[in-house]
Amino acid sequence: MTADQFCRLLQALVCSPRVQSQWQISDRGMPVFAHTIDVALLCLDAYPDWRERFPDFRLDVVLIGCLLHDLTKVNARIGDGLSHSHIMTHEPAIAAGEAMSALDEAQSTVCVWLDQEGIDHVWHVVAAHHGRWGKVAPRTPEAALVHQSDNYSATHHRTAPVDANDVLPLLDRGYKWAQIGQLLGVSRAIVKSRLQDACRAERVRSTTELLGIWREQGAVRPADDEHAEQIERARFIVDFARRCPESLLERVRPCLPVEEQSLDPVLDW
């Protein structure tokens, strides 16, 4: 597969209805689609180091695995499927099977096919992405990296891309917490917790006092430094995810081998 063909396949995968359907569900306020892109970005950041440690490292397998690893969450939340964590602990073949069928569709759309070894490898990456919390342990560097990045994204970046400075202008206009949640695309609980975070950071006891600071200064401290940084990262991820596939392809292209002017250039992953 050439670098161009791989980019076409990646684009088809990102744009496929199944992968896009991950926008419809969120974990702690972070759309699952944005989380999958975050996992891909973390893998891309780590890639130079892993390529050096493992000369045959396959970035194509990793990126495809990232995009497809959480597809069963959609059916579990808006269909009648088993929960994703149950699948990963008891029947990871279901997650891998769903990934394979999404991959098949994308491949047929662009007439680009991954080699059989790559397909088997993606199967393993998806089946093993929960690491020791799942039934299948990662047995390859590619599976280990996706698991590590997935775990990091879930524990460090999974938060709603909203803070008190988004909430206060709406509160000032008389909206209720539930309405603000609807307008910002998050739950009422997240609106409440963001206001509490800011009250703690500004050392005030009530939302009324917080609103006073916001009216006076135009902004408040949204949270403690660590949490504020998490929210900023979440904003970046969601914005980056909205600009996909272009934004992702821009990040991926420099990592792909430059093709020589041969008739049938072949990627050396």
Is residue 70 part of the contact set for Fe ion (CB under 5 A)?
yes
Smallest gap, in angstroms, from Cβ of residue 231 to Fe ion? 19
Q: Which tokens belong to 9?
A: 């396949």
Applying CB under 5 A, the span of 57-65, 112-120, 143-151, 256-264 interacting with Fe ion comes to 143-151
Q: Measured between alpha carbons, how far is 7 from 256 in angstroms, rounded to an integer?
A: 9
By the rule CB under 5 A, 98 interacts with Fe ion: no
- 38 near Fe ion, rule: CB under 5 A: no
Stretch of 13-21, 63-71, 100-108, 193-201 lying at the interface with Fe ion (CB under 5 A): 63-71
Which residue(s) pair with 31 in the sheet? 26
User: At closest approach, how far in Å is the CB of 200 from Fe ion?
Assistant: 29
* Tokens of residue 10, six digits: 């990646």
Taking the C-alpha atoms of residue 233 and residue 89, their distance in angstroms, rounded to an integer, is 29
Contacting range for Fe ion; rule: CB under 5 A; set: 114-122, 142-150, 175-183, 234-242: 142-150
Binding-site residue total for Fe ion (CB under 5 A)? Answer: 2
Shortest distance (Å) from residue 52 CB to Fe ion: 26
**Residue 150 or 163 having the CB closest to Fe ion:** 150
- Show the CA angle centred on residue 127, arms to residues 123 and 131, nearest 5°: 135
**DSSP string of 49-62, one letter each residue:** HHHHH-TT--HHHH
Per CB under 5 A, which of residues 150..189 are in contact with Fe ion?
Answer: 150
Containing 31, the helix (H) or strand (E) segment is: strand 30-31
Whose Cβ is closer to Fe ion: residue 25's or residue 170's?
25
Phi, psi of 89 (to 5 degrees): -85, -35
Q: Which is nearer to Fe ion, 64 or 171 (CB)?
A: 64
Backbone angles phi, psi at 185, to 5 degrees: 75, 30
Using the contact rule CB under 5 A, the part of the chain among 47-55, 56-64, 149-157, 176-184 near Fe ion is 149-157
* Pick 39 or 201: Cβ nearer Fe ion: 39
Minimal CA–CA distance to 9: which of 50, 57, 68? Answer: 68
Q: What are phi and psi of 27, to 5 degrees?
A: -115, 120
Amino acid at 29: G
CB of 29 to Fe ion, least distance (A): 15
Question: Contact positions toward Fe ion, by CB under 5 A?
Answer: 70, 150
